[in-house]
Amino acid sequence: MVLSNLSNPLLGMVDTAIVGHMQGVHFLAGTAVASMLVSQLYWLCGFLRMSATGLSAQALGRGDKQAAAKSMYQLLAPALLLGMLLIVAAPLLIITAIAFSDATAQSAPVIDDYLSVRLWGAPAALANLMLMGWLIGQQAARTVMTIQILANLLNAGLSLLLVLGLGWGVKGVAAATVCAEWGIFIAGLWLTLRRLNGQKPQRAWFRIKNYRSVLALNVDILMRNLALQITLAFMVFQGARLGEETVALNAVLMQFFVILALGLDGIAYAVEALCGESKGRGDGTLLVMRISRGLFWSLVLAMLYCLIFILFGKQIITLLTDLESLRRLADAYLPYIWILPLIAHWCFLLDGVYIGLTQGKAMRNSMLISSLGVFFPVWWSLSGWGNHGLWLAFLGFLLSRGVTLGADLFRRVRQQRLLV
């Protein structure tokens, strides 16, 4: 799972590097706003992946293949429907992105070009979230890795061809991503149906009374994701209000967070599948052991990230952009990047535990406290510090997520309520 997830930020770095070498900072600024909006929308729908992983893993632990098929089909339908709604809403989303980012006359057309193409991949992208989550729950990590790596290589190759070879510009970057998203969908659906031995959906699964437990779980995780995406979107839009150079700088710096997040999520995804299976078996001792092992490997990976960022942070920034002004600005923010892994790894690991346990309410409460009770108050109190205040608030937000989930987990272990 670590190898699989690390292929995603490497792809993002390729796209950032391609756009970052276009003549003019407005290309990178506009693409940063547009791609972040798409990411926020997709991550907001991450409840599809999270609920699919937990339900699939628990079905695996019980040895209940029908329950596994039921969870897949129940979540595939809303994924495709939400994706089609995003295509219909594309004009409104473009207007919103331009308005909220205070885009300049140069960067506004870039936002328009990117979103008008990229959103055609929305149905496949959202279905992929669910399918990859379901396969993770089935502990098919090698399958997920193979699909994602091949698709990301396709994406990177098409980006180079369409942008550098055919001169499609920003539209070429977006078109390459759309092709990769549909490729992942076709491969993922085929492999999922094979694991289910071609089992077809039952009409009863789609009745409201049979959707209630799934809907309740998804609503809690949706609220959790909404608080998260509001926080991350605020990072982008507030950076845009501080100027084109600042939003472009943050786009470069956030690549470090993406690399870190998807690397740590590799551990978390494994923990999701294993904790879900342990709950399905009803084995509390095995569950505690797997949480402890996940925490150990998460800490090891975080320390490795710290070392890499300290030793090679400047070189990574140089690879991402040849704009000298951005390189100079980035130097002052590297200390935040150096400590980011040690602060953030707790919340990623504990998210994995709670997804496997399908405890959406605890995840929701933790995120609301960290976003509304920590991030925004800290940012407001440090608003005079400009972009530095924004990054300090972000670090506080990540720390709070780990503390709140950790306290809840400790309480559950002490009260022997992990399997409830």
**Averaged pLDDT, 142-165:** 81
Residue 191: closest CA among 136, 153, 263: 136
Spell out the residues 6+ positions from residue 132 whose beta carbon is closer than 8 angstroms to its own. Answer: 49, 144, 147, 148, 184, 188
Q: Are 355 and 50 in contact (CB under 8 A)?
A: yes
**Pairwise CA distance, residues 308 & 333, whole Å:** 16
Residue 12 has pLDDT above 60, yes or no: no
Is 125 part of any domain?
Answer: yes
Spell out the residues 6+ positions from residue 13 whose beta carbon is closer than 8 angstroms to its own. Answer: 255, 259, 319, 320
Distances from the Cα of 94 to the Cα of 37, 87, 108, 168, angstroms: 9, 11, 9, 19
Arithmetic mean of pLDDT over the chain: 85
Is 420 part of any domain?
Answer: no
Is 236 part of any domain?
Answer: yes
Is 309 part of any domain?
Answer: yes
Domain count, the chain: 1
φ/ψ (deg, to 5) at 323: -80, 110
pLDDT of res. 102: 58
Is 90 part of any domain?
Answer: yes
pLDDT in tens, 103-115: 566 667 777 778 8
Most confident of 50-64, 195-209, 246-260: 50-64
Q: Are 228 and 366 in contact (CB under 8 A)?
A: no
Structural domain range at position 377: 2-414
**Averaged pLDDT, 143-159:** 82
Is 207 part of any domain?
Answer: yes
Is 419 part of any domain?
Answer: no
Instruction: Look up residue 41 and give its two tokens.
Output: 């929308």
Q: Does 7 or 341 have the greater pLDDT score?
A: 341
Q: Does 271 or 245 have the greater pLDDT score?
A: 271
Most confident of 143-147, 171-175, 236-240, 332-336: 332-336
pLDDT band at 2 (very low <50, low <70, confident <90, very high): low
**Pairwise CA distance, residues 61 & 58, whole Å:** 5
Q: Does 143 or 294 have the greater pLDDT score?
A: 294
SS (H, E, C) 310-346: HHHHHHHHHHHCCCHHHHHHHHCCHHHHHHHHHHHHH
Which amino acid would we find at residue 394? F
Is 407 part of any domain?
Answer: yes
- The pTM (predicted TM-score) of the whole model is 0.79
pLDDT in tens, 292-330: 999 999 999 999 999 999 999 888 888 877 777 788 888
Q: What Rg do the C-alpha atoms of the chain give, in angstroms?
A: 21
pLDDT band at 101 (very low <50, low <70, confident <90, very high): low
Q: Does 41 or 28 have the greater pLDDT score?
A: 41
pLDDT of res. 296: 95
Q: Does 259 or 354 have the greater pLDDT score?
A: 354
